[in-house]
Amino acid sequence: NAGVTQTPKFQVLKTGQSMTLQCAQDMNHEYMSWYRQDPGMGLRLIHYSVGAGITDQGEVPNGYNVSRSTTEDFPLRLLSAAPSQTSVYFCASSYAGSNEQYFGPGTRLTVT
């Protein structure tokens, strides 16, 4: 199993550009989520999904959209990138009955 995979590994955007961060898992996990990690602030939840077709907002959802058309994939879209969105983004998945999160390797995004 590949676990949780994320692409790209690194990305540089100009302010106002849009892009999609990809996330896929092959563990048949029901739950998937996106976090951003900034220095000294741990991980903060952006959006999460409890199953295909179901998504909800986390702590810091503004400026991001998600969709969950399949169990395996959970892309994160930045509609109009801003410098405040410079961060490291992690996708995670888990079984419905467990708090144990499996994290991807992260995407380091810089917005200039």
Partner 1 sequence: TQLLEQSPQFLSIQEGENLTVYCNSSSVFSSLQWYRQEPGEGPVLLVTVVTGGEVKKLKRLTFQFGDARKDSSLHITAAQPGDTGLYLCAGADLWSAGNMLTFGGGTRLMVKP
Residues that bind partner 1 (CB under 8 A): 4, 31, 33, 35, 40-45, 48-50, 56, 58-59, 90, 92, 94, 96, 98-106
| Between 13 and 92, CB nearer to partner 1 | 92
From the CB of 42, what's the least distance to partner 1, in Å?
4
Find out whether 89 and 107 touch, Cβ atoms under 8 Å: yes
E strands of the chain, at which residues? 4-7, 10-13, 19-25, 31-37, 43-51, 54-57, 64-66, 76-78, 87-94, 102-103, 107-111
Q: How far is the CB of 41 from partner 1 (least distance, A)?
A: 6
Distance of closest approach, residue 55 Cβ to partner 1, in angstroms: 10
Q: How far is the CB of 88 from partner 1 (least distance, A)?
A: 9
- The tokens for 75 are 């892309």
DSSP 40: T
User: Parallel, antiparallel, or unpaired: how do β-strands 43-51 and 31-37 relate?
Assistant: antiparallel
